[in-house]
Structure 1
Amino acid sequence: MNRCSGNVFSRRGFLAAGALTGAGLTLGDLMMAQQARADQKSYEFIEAKAKNVIHVFLPGGLPQHESFDPKPYSPLEYRGEFGTVKTNTGEVFCNSVPGLAKRADKFAIIRSMTHGEAAHERGTHNMFTGYKPSPALIYPSFGSVVSHEYGPRNDLPPYVCVPNVPNEFAGSGYLSSSYGPFALGDDPSRSTFKVRDLNLASGVDAERFARRRAALDAVNGRFTGSVSADNVDAMGTFYDRAYDLLNSPNARDAFDISKEDDKLRDRYGRDVAGQRMLMARRLVEAGCRMVTLTYGSWDMHAQLTAGVKRSMPAFDRSLSTLLDDLSERGMLDETLVMVTTEFGRTPKINKDAGRDHWPKVFSVMMAGGGIKGGTIYGASNATASEPEDNPVTHADLATTMYHLMGIVADKELMSPGDRPIEIVDGGEVIKGILA
């Protein structure tokens, strides 16, 4: 059931209703108006286009010129050393991503992403929460909000990070820590890869495990009856979900990447990028609602050309294969693939043959899950130094993602002090990229 399609009232809704009462309406009229507004919002958001999300985050700041927004007619010190490649839709990408250029009909590129945070931590916060950092409040990550709104499916954690929680902003924020991510704890590209804590300890069979659980439940029951605290409740939730994983062979199998066909693993690439993306596909196919993975280090202040040549081929190959694999399995229409980074890079090459931090404009990709493929949305100016039209903020991106998942982005959640906080404040759905 979509938990967001009931009588959900945003702060804006109540303010609007207040204006109606000032016009002389009765309490009955007000309630009818509120219900009509709620029904209208429920109708708009009732059908989720995306059942799952794979969030590929490229830490460090992906250079827009050397990926999806080349400037071939700008001076060399702006355009860089790479050339261009024509996509299968007639657009132009940097020739560092030839595989993705052949699949441009499967995704949308936003070339006008913008925010004002030039520090890594603050930019990362924006792109994991939809909010600018605040000294007064820790905001929940996308995955934790999804976990809060929908909960687990098929005995699998709703929110998984591959291989580990990538940063301090990928957690549950002001929500209960029970909505935090489950992390693999090991990299699926390793030959000895093993997800931690998914098997019973040596010498513990199913019967002994059941006795231990019953004893623990009895002790916890007395303790939680007298103590009320988030970390206590959260620990109980973690135990329950761990039991579900241990008791469900299908759930445990979802984490066993060795069950994949060897030829498919080779297509993805037997490297960090390939096996992380393959693991993400396995997990959403099995029932995880949101998988966040990271790849590479794109903070290329020096020798950018060499850095891109080193990191981009594996990314291009593995992401291309992920899109093909999802499509071949009939999963792309219900799986939103979102590729983001904390900011872009400076329009001009620096003295060390690199590019520095540049939050004024950068590019992100969105595919599947209700996205119109073959779309270029927004534009940067001639040197990719600022948006030229249709600027998109991190709040807009978050609102669009939630919209595709059937989550009302301005729904209010309760922070610790019973303060209502909107999931996203002020974002707009990017309608130009919707199918």
Structure 2
Amino acid sequence: MPYVESYYSATANQQFDLPKLEGEQQADICIIGAGFTGLSAALHLAQMGYSVSVLEAEKVGWGASGRNGGQVAPGHNMDHDELIKKVGKPMADSLWDMSIESVNLVKELIAKHQIDCDLKAGILHVAAKARHEKHIKESIDYKRDVLGYDSVEYVTKPEVEAMLGTDRYFGGEYAKDAAHLHPLNYALGLAKAAIDAGANIYENSRVVDYKGGSNAFVKTDSGIIKAKYILLACNGYLGKLESKIAGKIMPINNFIIATEPLSEELCRKINRDDVAVADSKFVINYFKLSGDNRLLWGGGENYTTKFPSDIPNFVRKYMLEFYPDLADVKIDYGWGGTLAITLNRMPYFNRLEDNVFAAQGYSGHGVALATLGGKIMAQAVSGSAEKFDVFASVPTPTFPGGTLLRFPGLVAGMLYYSMRDRFF
């Protein structure tokens, strides 16, 4: 399939016409999925000298990797003190350090491979409710005092208003070392770097079966790859390929709109410092300015297999809650993507067999953590599995009822938290 129509696909700065897998091939490693995880793994493995083949059901970066909000932030969805309770302080500290590493890795790859993807600095996490401000302040203090991380600062409510041109927020956390980018162009840049390093990427090659262990193989409808190692990098598009890990994730849909290009004056009014913004609601709003001065606004979710019939109007109402003056601004693009969340909102890493690795469930932190996930899967294949094992040590509950009943349970839970966003 072609790319879903979006601002990102309309402004992709390179195109690939990669072959479909045909016949029998051999590789040291076969990677299923050409999103951030798979592309990063392919790049790092190829640079180590392995023969690598990547199988992508659609196009490079076709899924959530090419459609998301493009925020590159440190940290995890689970607070550090909660992680200590789950895995102990050494492991929790390592997870925090790797979240910092993930942001630096994205920046390093962009610089090293000269990836043109509108990389910009700074993310502002704002309190959508007055009662959320206390937690944001405590989080900043914890990062500074306990973790020794001083690249965050508290922003008062008046300063947030000056930065964003709205009085709807109640202070925030400014992450100076965080970043934001054009995710599809970043994915395409990773793909080019992987191909230049010697990796083979096959598009339109949906995997229908695979087998690990001895005589491992990965099969599509038109070909087969015999490999020593298999990496599952499917995330929200895993489907029924591997039942052992399908119940650990929930595919959910999130939606974004892109306005027409805005005047420089209006851009500076609603985003003075050209940062990316995310609020503290359970179903978050997030927004930023594109490289050509459009407002990209993400808001709203659904939990079915279908997207809303009118995505621009589905999302536009969230934008107008905060910026009613944009009522007359034209919406040029509206699109959705499917990501994968876990019950505890932490990434899920697992070694299913000696030669089969999986990484998925980034729960909204996928640009940075999926890039790192690919690298540490590559390291695990090469014999250095310490970082992979740290992520794998985090207990990841299976959704109640597994894949059969997870949707009704999730919908009920999401509706509850959506009501809290609105009324409490």
TM-score (norm 1): 0.28
Structure with the greater alpha carbon radius of gyration: 1
Instruction: Report the structure, 1 or 2, having the larger strand content.
Output: 2
